[in-house]
Chains A and B, each alone.
Chain A
Amino acid sequence: MSTTVLLLITGLGLGALYFLIAAGLSLIWGLMRVLNLAHGAFFTVAAYLGWSASLALSGTSPWVQWGVSVVVAVIAGGVFATLTEVVLIRPLYARPVGQVLVTVGVALAAVALIEGGYGGDPKQLTLPAWLTGTTAILGANIPNTRWVAIFAAALVLALLLFFLQRTRYGLIVRAGVENRSMVEALGIDVQRAFTLVFAIGGMAAGLSGVLAAAYYGTIDPVRGTSMLIFAFIVIVIGGLGSVAGSALAAVIVGVLQQFLNFYAAAGVGDFAVVLLLAVVLLVRPGGLTGATST
């Protein structure tokens, strides 16, 4: 029983990290039809800058260090994403494949730069004592980092849904996902919504990066790439362009992966997730939900 609970919560925590990456990717795809391979680089760069910030503050309380590293990572992810959109993706609106290729270049260059600057060895983030501890639920000792990841993802999901449902820009984004050329024809500037969606996606990816550092205990230059691949699987299963679908799929993927990696063998869970993707594609090519942005 306690193992089941532990695996379930840990799987939810992993799903939360996936969701934070997938939400931005899904919106970017839904609105702009850009496959953003640089999203993993946002994750990695933000995590490392957060680590640097925390290192610069060494000596102060661990809570301050960790809090600052979270804030720095979120801002770094947002700034990096905005710059990528404005400088590199905007000039290529007429060439969709060119946009994908440019994000490939960003991913390669940014990860190589991080590896050059910080070295390839895993780095440890300073965490408050509470974060490294566990909380007992139903006889299972759950690491507190899982709760933080789940809480953060739930908060981001709520904020995103509020943004999409209740604000003017959210309305433009939803309309853009539905039919971009119609929104443009009505004289609404979709470009600004593009930049906004990129910034939000980058911030969420940065948050995921710094939370993953706590979840796994370390940061390394290549985790972003493998997280990105699972985030792709999540958004295809969830239905491209749908934030709620991504949340649902992230939970399914994270929990399935944890259970199979534990009960079958390490790696089986990763494999099963890809199989699940194939099955979903064969049965429901549009994903679990249709393409709507709610």
Chain B
Amino acid sequence: MTAARGRILFAVAALLVLAALPQIGITIPGLFERPLSAPGTLSLLALCFVFGALALTYDIVFGYVGLLSFGHALYFATGAYAAAIALTRWHWHLPQAILLTAVVAIVLPLVLGAVCLRMHDIPFAMVTLAFAEAGSVLVLQNPFGLTGGEEGLALGSDVLPSYLVGVPNTHNLYWIALAFLVLTYAVGWWAVNSPPGRVWQAIRENERRVGVLGLNPYLYKLGAFVLSAFLASAAGVVYVLLQGGANPQITTSSFTLALLVMVVLGGVGTLWGAVLGGIVYEYLDFRLVALSNAPALQSLPAIVRVPLSEPLFILGVLFIVLVLFVPGGLGGLLRRRAAA
């Protein structure tokens, strides 16, 4: 049996276990407080899957094309808000809302990408950051009462089909998130291994040479930008279903930076590394908040307690250490272990 076939078998087995999780009542002490089939654990895992998928979409532009975008949160938020607005403000049904979101999720990155990609490298990063900030300002201003400003938009219990609402149906949302992750991975894998995907990686290595070879790097970059933004918007829709609404936190520049942390944490330029990074980041973010309220921590002196009770401080420091000493991220570490 070849290594590749072994890996596929392993992936299929892991997927089957993940899919069966809502039916398995085991507990993993330390990792999760409640049994794996409990709604709380399932919704945390579902959120982890969505962020894994989102990190993967970011890795397509950052890891494969080499475009350092600081505006990726904008497209996630676009998906989330377009769907939430159609559902709550206009009382559309879910399929129509998804259709509208799909149209917006192609047009917006096409227009913004066309402008941003006139710049290269770091100026490109700054310009994408500026557009994302404009999006954040727009959401907070609550134009025409659409976005709900700082409060965000909460889906009522009546706008979604009944099988997606309520604690007893958490396993349905879990399966949707898992299926979305698998689908995103499949699309991402297909895209980066397709002929245009090879051109993306060539652009990352040497853009001028791609131009000299007679291909137009601009169009290829725009294609990658739109694909990645479209998938990010789809992740935004799943996020709205999971969270029961959209909130302005996902529009902020800090959220884009969190995406960057996820991808670098997992390993830039590998799809599964990015997924791993997204999952680990979201899990840590959640668990570190729980840790900050732990009684053991409260008894420590303030100088130790205060930094440890700020999840973003721990993640920021972890990130610096990774960048300085482990450039390949967690994925790189695992691979090196496997090779040794």
Contacts and interface: CB of A to CB of B under 8 A. Distances in A.
Interface of A: 29, 33, 35, 37, 88, 91-92, 95, 97-98, 100-102, 104-113, 115-117, 225-226, 229, 232-233, 235-236, 240, 265-267, 270-271, 274-275, 277-278, 281-282, 285
Contacts of A33: 122
Contact of A232 (B129, B260, B261, B313): B129
Contacts of B254: 108, 225
7 contacts: A35-B125, A102-B320, A105-B320, A107-B316, A116-B313, A229-B130, A274-B130
A70 B110 CA distance: 46
B189 interface: no
Contacts of A266: 141
B215 interface: no
Contacts, number: 120
Contacts of A233: 126, 130
A190 to B, nearest CB: 19
Interface in B279-334: 306-307, 309-313, 315-317, 319-320, 323-324, 327
Contacts of B115: 278, 281-282
B271 interface: no
A117 B123 contact: no
A108 to B, nearest CB: 3
Contacts of B253: 225, 229
A256 to B, nearest CB: 14
Contacts of B307: 113, 116
A116 B260 contact: no
Contacts of B261: 104-105, 108
A274 B319 contact: no
Interface size, B (range): 35 or more
Contacts of B130: 229, 232-233, 236, 274, 277
B324 A91 contact: yes
B134 A274 contact: yes
A272 to B, nearest CB: 9
Given A88-B324, A112-B312, A281-B118, A100 B123 contact: no
Given A95-B327, A106-B316, A267 B140 contact: yes
A107 B257 CA distance: 10
B317 to A, nearest CB: 5
Nearest to A115: B310
Q: Which of B118, B311, B313 has most chain A Cβ within 10 Å? A: B313
Contacts of B122: 29, 33, 35, 100
Contact of B137 (A108, A271, A278): A271
A116 B320 contact: no
B73 to A, nearest CB: 13
Interface string B238-264: 000000000000000110010011001
Contacts of B186: none
A277 B141 contact: no
A266 B141 CA distance: 8
A109 B317 contact: yes
A270 B134 contact: yes
Nearest to A117: B306
B207 interface: no
B260 A101 contact: yes
A265 B143 CA distance: 10
B56 interface: no
B137 A109 contact: no
Given A115-B310, A116-B309, A282-B118, A105 B126 contact: no
Nearest to A237: B130
Contact of B323 (A102, A117, A225, A277): A102
A106 B320 contact: yes
Given A115-B310, A271-B138, 17 more contacts: A33-B122, A88-B320, A98-B323, A98-B324, A100-B68, A104-B319, A107-B257, A112-B313, A116-B309, A229-B129, A229-B133, A236-B127, A236-B130, A270-B137, A271-B137, A274-B131, A281-B118
Interface in B111-167: 115, 118-119, 122-123, 125-127, 129-131, 133-134, 137-138, 140-141
B125 A100 contact: yes
Contacts of A115: 310
Contact of A271 (B126, B134, B313, B323): B134
A109 B123 CA distance: 24
Contact of A109 (B134, B140, B320, B327): B320
